[in-house]
């Protein structure tokens, strides 16, 4: 019988690379503490299931699967989030195939920004805004609660934005709208394009 473990991936850039949009202080806490906690939570759930299968422990399966869903989605989304960002650029906008697709589906990049930002601002409590695609490469903006609620099965996330307070509060306090507006400068559209084509 095999056991699955997940690992904290290193950031693809330096902690201060996203400044002034996202500070080094936030990146250190967010990656080293928060993301690590999801990795540990996912591994703990995976280990419980492994021991349960071996007959070593009894577990409340529903509870463990709920933990697995929360922590594994937290791990997966943060792993995408880090790669989705790079050094800030003014007038940062998508090109290539993803740029064309966005124009076809949303009418314009501005329309996508409007819908995606509205999704991010309207997350109740903690969650994410996500640009995802289905099997036919149609694009959707999703509004995710926590890490794991309101996903659509089989849809692939291309671009994800963390709007939990831990993602912005130290830099923006309660001004979530300003965080979201600035965040567009650090979107790594090359990574979004790569995920779109995969
Ligand atoms: Fe986060």
Distance 26 CA to ligand 1 centre (A): 10
pLDDT score of 125 more than 90: no
Question: Which tens digits make up the pLDDT trace of 79-100?
Answer: 999 999 999 999 999 999 999 9
Contact 102, 184 (CB under 8 A): no
Per the structure block, which two tokens stand in for 12?
């693809």
Distance 167 CA to ligand 1 centre (A): 5
- pTM for this predicted structure: 0.97
Domain extents for the chain? 24-83, 96-197
**Domain pair 24-83 / 96-197, same fold:** no
Rounded to whole angstroms, the Cα distance separating 133 from 156 reads 5
What pLDDT is stored for residue 106 in this prediction? 98
Distance 55 CA to ligand 1 centre (A): 35
Question: Which tens digits make up the pLDDT trace of 171-182?
Answer: 999 999 999 999
3-class DSSP state of 27: helix
Q: What number is the average pLDDT over the span 97-118?
A: 98
* DSSP-assigned states of every residue in 43-111: HHHHHHHHHHHTTS----HHHHHHHHHHHHHHHHHHHHHHHTB-S--TT----HHHHHHHHHHHSSHHH
Distance 89 CA to ligand 1 centre (A): 22
Distance 44 CA to ligand 1 centre (A): 19
Rounded to whole angstroms, the Cα distance separating 118 from 116 reads 5
Rounded to whole angstroms, the Cα distance separating 174 from 40 reads 29
Distance 110 CA to ligand 1 centre (A): 25
Q: What number is the average pLDDT over the span 29-49?
A: 98
Q: Could you tell me how many helices (H) and strands (E) the chain has, helices first?
A: 8, 3
pLDDT score of 153 more than 90: yes
What pLDDT is stored for residue 193 in this prediction? 98
Distance 40 CA to ligand 1 centre (A): 14
Instruction: Report the topology of domain 24-83.
Output: Helix Hairpins (1.10.287)
Distance 6 CA to ligand 1 centre (A): 17
Rounded to whole angstroms, the Cα distance separating 182 from 107 reads 22
Q: Which residues place a Cβ less than 5 A from the ion ligand 1? A: 162, 164, 167
Contact 127, 143 (CB under 8 A): yes
Q: Where are the beta strands (DSSP E) in the chain?
A: 127-133, 139-145, 156-162
CATH number of 96-197: 3.55.40.20
On the 0-12 / 13-18 / 19+ scale of CB atoms within 10 A, 37 is middle
Rounded to whole angstroms, the Cα distance separating 49 from 153 reads 23
The dihedrals phi and psi of 4, each to the nearest 5 degrees, come to -100, 140
């Amino acid at each position: 019988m095999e056991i699955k473990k997940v690992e904290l991936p290193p950031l693809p850039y330096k902690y201060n690379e996203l400044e002034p949009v996202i500070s080094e202080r936030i990146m250190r806490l967010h990656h080293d503490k928060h993301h690590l906690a999801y990795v540990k939570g996912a591994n703990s759930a995976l280990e419980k299931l492994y021991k349960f299968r071996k007959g070593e422990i009894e577990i409340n399966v529903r509870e463990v699967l709920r933990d697995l869903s929360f922590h594994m989605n937290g791990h997966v989304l943060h792993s995408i989030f880090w790669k989705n960002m790079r050094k800030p650029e003014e007038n940062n906008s998508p090109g290539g195939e993803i740029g064309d697709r966005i124009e076809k589906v949303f009418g314009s990049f501005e329309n996508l920004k409007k819908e995606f930002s509205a999704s991010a601002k309207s997350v109740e409590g903690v969650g994410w805004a996500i640009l995802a695609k289905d099997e036919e490469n149609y694009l959707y903006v999703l509004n995710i609660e926590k890490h794991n609620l309101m996903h659509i099965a089989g849809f692939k996330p291309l671009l994800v934005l963390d709007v939990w307070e831990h993602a912005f509060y130290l830099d923006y306090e309660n001004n979530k709208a300003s965080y979201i507006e600035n965040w567009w400068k650090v979107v790594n559209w090359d990574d979004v394009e790569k995920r779109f084509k995969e």
